Amino acid sequence: AGSLIPGLNLDAKAVRLGIIGVGFRGESHLALALRRPDVEVVAICDVDDQMLQRAHNIIAKSGKPAPKVFTGSDYAYRDLLALQGLDGVIIATPWEWHAPMVLDALAAGIKYVATEVILGITLQDHWDVVKAAESRKAHVMMLENVCYRRDVMAVLNMVRQGVFGELLHLQGGYQHDLRGVKFNDGQPPYNHGVEFGPKAFSEARWRTNHSVHRNGDLYPTHGVGPLAMMTGINRGNRFLSLSSFATKTRGLHNYIVANGGENHPNAKVRFRLGDIVTTQLHCANGETMLLQHDTNNPRPYSLGFRVQGTEGLWMDVANSVYVQGKSAHEDEWDVATDWLKKYDHPLWQRWSKDTEGAGHGGMDFFVLHGFVEAIKRGVATPMDVYDAATWSVITPLSESSIELGFQTVDFPDFTSGQWMYRANDFAAGDEF
């Protein structure tokens, strides 16, 4: 493999990774990391014995050497961070742990820190991580896998080649019926029972509490990440303002009553999260964006993408494209498939064999790949701390907007003006 840094032999030594959190998300990163000859998983950490046992089985099957295991307390991860010679860590824990763990990793001197989506809870969390990464000259990457979805990348390619003309309006979101994820009966698998909190298993232990206490777009990054890369947010463009609206809240209560009966104690819980939260963003270069968070009611999964410019648009839900003067019939949708094939992104052309078996249709391969290749080359991660903060801060901003009666709120500039000069180099080639 070639190197961007003269004299650096990329094949010389494996990247030494630690993984904090080997729950259902972390174990999938673990399995992908074990598949790579250029990675050594030297340490893992979790507080859940059942998940650690599953991790042991995954490692044993891989034939790779056993990592050091850290467990026994919520702060055992700090001992993992104190290990000598870690090149990077991956954090896949409940949302409220991401910012403290990233900050501790940076304080421990680790130069490459990857976290699962959601960077922090409050606005201040996001500033703290940005400032810590800057002062430590370290890289913080949020593992936003949808930026690498094959259709999304083809559309990014189309945007860059001007197929849609000049961009005007973009939509996306997180539209996923999570009722069977937010509630369970304390045992795997999902989709059984109506417990959450300490009596529940996996995400329902922690994720559901955010629906009890918070009203906002709780999960903006799968939608906004790809759209931010298409519009060059923090890379020649930036968000100026945001406003959010929330519907009434019905779905979670209805689900508890339907599955646990109206006398179940959880039927008394008052959820704050509006069932559908709609957020509007305005960009410095004149585009608008609309994000939707919709997780409490029956609906097939769809991130609801729409990418629209002066010449045409793409929408994912109907797999449809229309481009003026180019589509088969005037005023009629083309099936998007041929367009997406024609503009297939170079990353997918080069790596699609390696994505086989990786989660979420293969796109999970690319987030780990991007993180590892950046470490090997000693360069910035493909998505950086400014991307992470900007996408994730939509949650606390949307909470403020709703709290203020749907007011428009200012969007912070985490780059402190550098957005005007930064190049949009995300997925510029076929390497990572």
- What crossing angle do the helices spanning 385-392 and 394-403 adopt, rounded to 10°? 30
Question: Shortest distance, CB of residue 255 to ligand A2G, whole angstroms?
Answer: 16
Chain positions 392 to 411 lying near ligand A2G, rule: CB under 6 A, are none
Can you tell me which of 222, 235, 238, 345 binds ligand A2G, judged by CB under 6 A?
222
CB atoms within 10 A of CB 358: 21
Site string for ligand A2G, 51-80 (x = CB under 6 A): ------------------------------
Asked if 114 is part of the footprint of ligand A2G (rule: CB under 6 A), the reply reads no
Residue (25 or 238) nearer to ligand A2G, CB: 25
Residue (391 or 419) nearer to ligand A2G, CB: 391
Asked if 360 is part of the footprint of ligand A2G (rule: CB under 6 A), the reply reads yes
Question: Shortest distance, CB of residue 325 to ligand A2G, whole angstroms?
Answer: 34
Give the residue carrying structure tokens 């990793």.
105
Question: Shortest distance, CB of residue 360 to ligand A2G, whole angstroms?
Answer: 5
Yes or no: say if 220 and 394 are a contact pair by the CB < 8 Å rule: yes
Residue (46 or 334) nearer to ligand A2G, CB: 46
Yes or no: say if 348 and 136 are a contact pair by the CB < 8 Å rule: no
Residue (148 or 411) nearer to ligand A2G, CB: 148
Residue (146 or 283) nearer to ligand A2G, CB: 146
Question: How far apart (Å, rounded) are the C-alpha atoms in residues 322 and 308?
Answer: 10
Total number of residues that touch ligand A2G (CB under 6 A): 7
Residue (131 or 176) nearer to ligand A2G, CB: 176
Query: At residue 178, what is the residue type?
Result: L
Give me Rg for the CA atoms of the chain: 22
For CA atoms 106, 110, 116, 117, the dihedral sign is: positive
Asked if 181 is part of the footprint of ligand A2G (rule: CB under 6 A), the reply reads yes
Chain positions 124 to 153 lying near ligand A2G, rule: CB under 6 A, are 145-146
Asked if 192 is part of the footprint of ligand A2G (rule: CB under 6 A), the reply reads no
Pairing of strands 320-323, 312-315: antiparallel
Question: Shortest distance, CB of residue 301 to ligand A2G, whole angstroms?
Answer: 7
312-315 β-sheet, strand order: 334-335, 320-323, 312-315, 306-309, 167-175, 288-294, 276-283, 239-246, 409-410
In 249-302, where does DSSP find H-type helix?
251-260
Question: How far apart (Å, rounded) are the C-alpha atoms in residues 432 and 429?
Answer: 7
Chain positions 197 to 216 lying near ligand A2G, rule: CB under 6 A, are 203
Site residues (vs ligand A2G, CB under 6 A): 145-146, 176, 181, 203, 222, 360
